[in-house]
């Protein structure tokens, strides 16, 4: 770009520097937001892992209780050994 005088060149240079600073500030703000989002995602993932662990534990406890009930029911359905001996 050919500028006609010194004043126009200075104004162009000032405008360019201002735009670069503004762009740099915007990039820094966006990078800070990205870091905050990454931290939030990491925290959320850890919380979800905790919830999954608790749910899996509860599921295993329920399965154990069902297995115990099935075992009791199986023994209850079997004929008494003392009745077959006599």
pLDDT surpasses 90 at 9: no
Which of 27, 28, 1 lies closest to 13, judged by CA? 1
The more confidently predicted of residues 24 and 64 is 64
Q: Please give the DSSP secondary-structure letter assigned to residue 2.
A: -
pLDDT digits (tens, 9 = 90+) for 15-47: 888 888 889 999 999 999 999 999 999 999 999
Whole-model pTM? 0.57
Q: Residue 48: its pLDDT value, please?
A: 98
What are the CA-CA distances from residue 22 to residues 28, 70, 82 (Å)? 10, 71, 92
Q: Residue 11: its pLDDT value, please?
A: 77
Q: Residue 84: its pLDDT value, please?
A: 65
The more confidently predicted of residues 57 and 4 is 57
39, 50 contact by CB (below 8 A)? no
Q: What is the mean pLDDT of residues 50-60?
A: 98
């Amino acid at each position: 770009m050919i500028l006609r005088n010194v004043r126009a060149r200075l104004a162009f240079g000032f405008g360019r520097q201002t735009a670069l600073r503004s762009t740099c500030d915007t990039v820094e703000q966006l990078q800070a937001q990205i870091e905050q989002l990454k931290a939030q995602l990491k925290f959320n993932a850890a919380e979800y892992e905790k919830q999954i662990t608790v749910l899996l534990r509860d599921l295993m406890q329920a399965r154990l209780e069902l297995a115990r009930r099935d075992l009791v029911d199986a023994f209850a359905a079997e004929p008494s050994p003392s009745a077959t001996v006599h």
